Chain A
Amino acid sequence: MEEKLEQYLRHLPKVEPGRSLAPSVMARIAERARPSYRRYKRWVVALAAAALFVLMLTTNLPLTPRLELFGYRTVRLVFCSTVRNPKTVAVAGDFSDWESIPMERVDENCFALTLRLRPGKYEYGFLVDGKWVPDPLSLRAVADGFGSVNSILVVDGDTE
């Protein structure tokens, strides 16, 4: 019986590949042997990250990623007064239910404020020492119904 089993085992089918594998093997080898990038990928990525980090620290290029949590966008409003050395500057708009928000002085005539807004279109203006002033840098404005104008702020995003 041992002999019979061995006889059958010796007749188990020899299966051959459907085609010659040599061309595919050589193609794979050529693909993996393709130089440099794959081999140095780790170093290239590390160097690029280091370069980006240095640029973020040493330049004013807009490289810092914006944290846009839950659909909010970060918007920086800057107002530079033509009146010399104003005492207070605030911003008010439909994004604040027209409540005024004081802006921070960044130099003698300029004030700035960073807001987190959802994408959309907003009306707003500045209060310079209590006087309503539309944003001189905004290209769009609408009448406010009180004889003055409101500036238009468009926050880009999925909804715009």
Chain B
Amino acid sequence: MWEQSDREIIQEVLNGNKDLFAVLVARYEKPIFNYVYGLVRQRQDAEDLTQEAFVKAFFALRTYKDSFEFSTWMYRIARNVCLDYFRRQKIRSFFSLNTPVGEEEEDELGDFLPEGKDPEEGVLKEELLERVSQAVGQLPLKFREVIVLRYVEELSYEEIARILDVPVGTVKTYLHRAKAKLRELLGEEFS
């Protein structure tokens, strides 16, 4: 089935077919939500901020330039919305964002157990995965977001660099330092 490209949809929205923007929302709401959630670690806030990011994108659509993928542009907007959120929350030290993992997240973690593995090994992995998730939540924001973008969103270094508006080398440095910090937080098991 033929599917309109992002650019075609954007052009139609700009030409007045505003309802078509819902297609773009449906197309990118999951990765953007996932990214936002990775930063704020609160489901309700993440839903609200994701919606806000799309609303901002809609009203700024005329400023969108073809040199970026729409998804990259959306990540950048979502990032700015999150930064505003943190400013509003007066969270200066991102280390303080150590949100405990709730039951809901524990269920989700359970879904990621590798299939067909030894149950004991599975339990071990589940506990470790939970610890890793918590440790990511303890990272400073700039480290946390490169981890989310690289390993959860599975973006390339180049895409991450465009989203963060930093050189690729900086992304690699952040990732290296983020992983070092994670190993420090996780202790023996990963060092």
What is the interface of chain A, defined by CB distance below 8 A to chain B? 1-2, 4-6, 8-18, 20-26, 28-29, 32-33
B109 at the interface (CB under 8 A from A): yes
Residue of A nearest to B57 (CB): A25
Cβ-neighbour of A12 out of B55, B151, B183 (below 8 A): B151
B91 at the interface (CB under 8 A from A): no
What's the A-B contact tally at a CB cutoff of 8 Å?
103
**Could you give, for residues 8-21 of chain B, a 1 whenever the CB lies within 8 Å of some chain A CB and a 0 otherwise?**
00000000001101
Given contacts A21-B29, A22-B29, contact A9 B108 (CB under 8 A): no
Main secondary structure of the interface of A (DSSP, over half): helix
Contact of A6 with B19 in the complex, beta carbons under 8 Å: no
B143 at the interface (CB under 8 A from A): no
Which of A2, A10, A13 gathers most chain B CB within 10 Å? A13
Q: Which residues from B are CB-within-8-Å of A11? A: 112, 114, 129
Main secondary structure of the interface of B (DSSP, over half): helix
Contact of A29 with B179 in the complex, beta carbons under 8 Å: no
B26 at the interface (CB under 8 A from A): yes
Given contacts A5-B179, A10-B151, contact A20 B26 (CB under 8 A): yes
B33 at the interface (CB under 8 A from A): yes
Q: Distance in Å from the Cβ of A55 to the closest Cβ of chain B?
A: 38
11 sample A-B contacts, Cβ–Cβ < 8 Å, listed by A number: A9-B152, A9-B182, A11-B129, A17-B50, A21-B47, A21-B54, A23-B22, A24-B51, A25-B54, A29-B18, A32-B59
CA A14 to CA B33, docked complex, whole Å: 9
Q: Which residues from B are CB-within-8-Å of A18? A: 43, 47
Contact of B191 with A1 in the complex, beta carbons under 8 Å: yes
Residue of B nearest to A16 (CB): B30
CA A28 to CA B50, docked complex, whole Å: 12
Given contacts A18-B47, A21-B54, A25-B51, contact A13 B179 (CB under 8 A): no
Which 10 pairs show the lowest CB-CB distances between chains A and B? A9-B151, A22-B25, A13-B108, A22-B22, A25-B54, A8-B132, A17-B33, A21-B29, A15-B37, A28-B55
Q: Which residues from A are CB-within-8-Å of B179? A: 2, 5-6
CA A15 to CA B49, docked complex, whole Å: 15
Given contacts A5-B182, A8-B129, A25-B55, contact A13 B21 (CB under 8 A): no
CB proximity to A under 8 Å, residues B31-78: 33-34, 37-38, 43, 46-47, 50-52, 54-55, 58-59
CA A17 to CA B114, docked complex, whole Å: 23
CA A24 to CA B48, docked complex, whole Å: 9
Contact of A17 with B108 in the complex, beta carbons under 8 Å: no
Cβ-neighbour of B190 out of A4, A22, A33 (below 8 A): A4
B147 at the interface (CB under 8 A from A): yes
Q: Which residues from B are CB-within-8-Å of A33? A: 18
Q: Which residues from B are CB-within-8-Å of A24? A: 51
Q: Distance in Å from the Cβ of A38 to the closest Cβ of chain B?
A: 12
Contact of B152 with A14 in the complex, beta carbons under 8 Å: yes
CA A17 to CA B47, docked complex, whole Å: 6
CA A17 to CA B112, docked complex, whole Å: 17
B82 at the interface (CB under 8 A from A): no
